[in-house]
Amino acid sequence: MTNRLQVHILGAGPAGLIAAETLARAGAAVTVFERKPVPARKFLMAGRGGLNITHSEHIDSFLARYGAGRTMVENAIRGFTPDMLRDWCAALGEETFVGSSGRVFPKSFKASPLLRAWQARLGGMGVEFRFGHTWRGWDDTGALLFDTAGGPFAAPAADAVLLALGGASWPKLGADGAWISWLQSRGVDIAPFRPANCGFHVAWSDYFKQQFAGQPLKPLSLSFNGQRVESEAMITAAGIEGGGIYALSAALRDAVDKDGHALLHLDVRPGLSLEKLTQKLAQPRGAKSLGTWLRSAGGLSPLAATLLREDAAGGQDLAQLAPAALAARIKAVPLHVQTPFSLERAISSAGGIRAQALDGFRLRALPQVYAAGEMLDWEAPTGGYLLQASFATGVAAAQQILAAAKAAD
């Protein structure tokens, strides 16, 4: 490059920041524009419960987690693997470890130390930050327009622009999908956003909501459409959410979109075989109430025992069931789930810029504009897959910008 490459990055989440680092390391002049007053708000929020940054499973199993979106992210992840992400964390002073589930966490379990070290590194590399800049599209000359506290601002021209504006979940943290109309008006094909890694509405009875909203349902195994997940769930006044629900949410959401509801099955005694549970339930009930007997003989929690009789779970007269039939019911409680919770409550979103709108990570309709992260049309379960793909696509998009600049030089 005869002149220093000038790149504007819109969005200071993981995809935008790792792209800024990749570009600055190669000598580019990088300016990052961010709507919020601080970077990576969603990243910080995700780290409050222990930052699950990636996963340790074999790469083939890892890539299978992206389903139909695998083709969009596979090359990027193979180019910036989970091991490479762990090495990157270690270079910032945050060693990682593999948890019992195979998930990878920083030893501090926090996002804030990693982000502080990262910001210091980027500052030392000359990356410039413009916080409080909300993107509003382009003006007639092609300049990027922003709203700021001091009024409208038009950014000076750059050689390339990288959009890393996120999806549409948790909009209060910065990613609200407002960019869709500006890209569509320029001919970019975008799939509508839908909630992902989300809970679902369930028509609980008033009694059930009053007694159990806010309580976890565990131990638990969940089954839907041939998938089985060992996890837990959380009862809410509106429905059900939690790790097990999130893992199945894409399939549940698609079924609801097609049929208006989905039938999920819950095994509320996953540690006990059907045969052994049948034997336990063959004990005489005596004078015990049904609920007490289900807890003592079947080992069910009060929540699980009550769930069996909920209308939303196909409630019926359990006292009339033979031990084998009752055991089968406990091992596969049917639960009718309805619409997903809103995008505002979803952990992530599905939808975004479609693969056919891209050449690698460059927008076909806007040759100097690239995109990375959750604004692309892929989705993944929780467990480190969301962050891994965001980091990897940010690196890949930055590398493509560098390669295009080199080819043009």
Q: What is the pLDDT of residues 239-252, one digit of tens each?
A: 999 999 999 999 99
- Name the pLDDT band for 336 (thresholds 50, 70, 90): very high
Q: Which residues of 273-291 are buried (b: 16+ CB within 10 A; e: fewer)?
A: eeeebbeebeeeeeeeeee
Tell me whether residue 127 is in a domain.
yes
Closest CA to 98 of 89, 46, 13, 159: 89
pLDDT digits (tens, 9 = 90+) for 93-146: 999 999 999 999 999 999 999 999 999 999 999 999 999 999 999 998 889 999
Note the pLDDT of residue 333: 95
In whole angstroms, give the CA distance from residue 45 to residue 135: 22
Residues 248, 300 within the same domain? yes
User: What's 110's domain CATH number?
Assistant: 3.50.50.60
- On whether both 227 and 188 belong to a single domain, the answer is no
Q: How many domains does the chain have?
A: 2
pLDDT at 90: 97
Q: Of all residues in the chain, what percent carry a pLDDT higher than 70?
A: 98
Q: Please check whether residues 35 and 177 belong to one and the same domain.
A: yes
Among 337, 358, 374, residue at a domain's last position:
337
- Determine, yes or no, domain membership for 344: no
Give the Cα-Cα-Cα angle 294, 297, 300 (nearest 5 degrees). 45
Q: Specify whether 111 is located in the same domain as 259.
A: no
Phi and psi at residue 215, to the nearest 5°: -105, 145
Does 255 share its domain with 385?
no
For the chain, give the mean pLDDT: 94
Same domain for 183 and 84:
yes
- Residue type, position 46, single letter: A
Domain contains 30 = yes
Taking only the tens place, the pLDDT of each residue in 161-195 is: 999 999 999 888 888 899 999 999 999 999 999 99
In this structure, are 254 and 375 located in the same domain?
Answer: no
Last residue of a domain, which of 289, 313, 337?
337
Strand partners, 128: 31
Look at residue 240 and tell me if it is in a domain: yes
Q: How many helices (H) and strands (E) does the chain have?
A: 14, 21
Query: Is 85's pLDDT higher than 90?
Result: yes
Q: Determine the pLDDT at residue 315.
A: 67
pLDDT tens profile 265-276: 999 999 999 999
Tell me whether residue 317 is in a domain.
yes
Q: Decide if 204 is inside a domain.
A: yes
130 and 220 together in one domain: no
Tell me the C-alpha distance between 52 and 36, whole Å: 23
Q: For residue 355, is pLDDT > 80?
A: yes
pLDDT at residue 138, as a whole number: 94
- 221 with 270, same domain: the answer is yes
Within a domain: 1: no
**1: pLDDT confidence band, cut at 50, 70 and 90?**
very low
Q: In terms of domains, do 147 and 29 share one?
A: yes
Q: What is the mean pLDDT of residues 222-237?
A: 96
Task: Please compute Rg for the chain using Cα positions.
Answer: 25
Between residues 190 and 295, the one the model is more confident about: 190
pLDDT at residue 310 tops 80: yes
| Predicted structure pTM score | 0.93
- Examine the domain organization and report whether 94 and 42 are in the same domain: yes
Please check whether residue 246 is in contact with residue 270, taking contact to mean a CB–CB distance below 8 angstroms. no
Mean pLDDT of the region 368-388: 96
- Comparison of pLDDT for 74 and 142, the residue scoring more: 74
pLDDT attached to residue 283: 87
Question: Last residue of a domain, which of 285, 315, 337?
Answer: 337
**257 or 50: which leads in pLDDT:** 257
The residues, ordered by sequence, that sit 6+ positions from 91 with a Cβ below 8 Å of its Cβ are none
Same domain for 377 and 327?
no
Q: Which domain holds residue 132?
A: 6-195+349-408
Whether 358 and 304 have beta carbons less than 8 Å apart is answered as no
Note whether residue 230 is domain-resident. Answer: yes
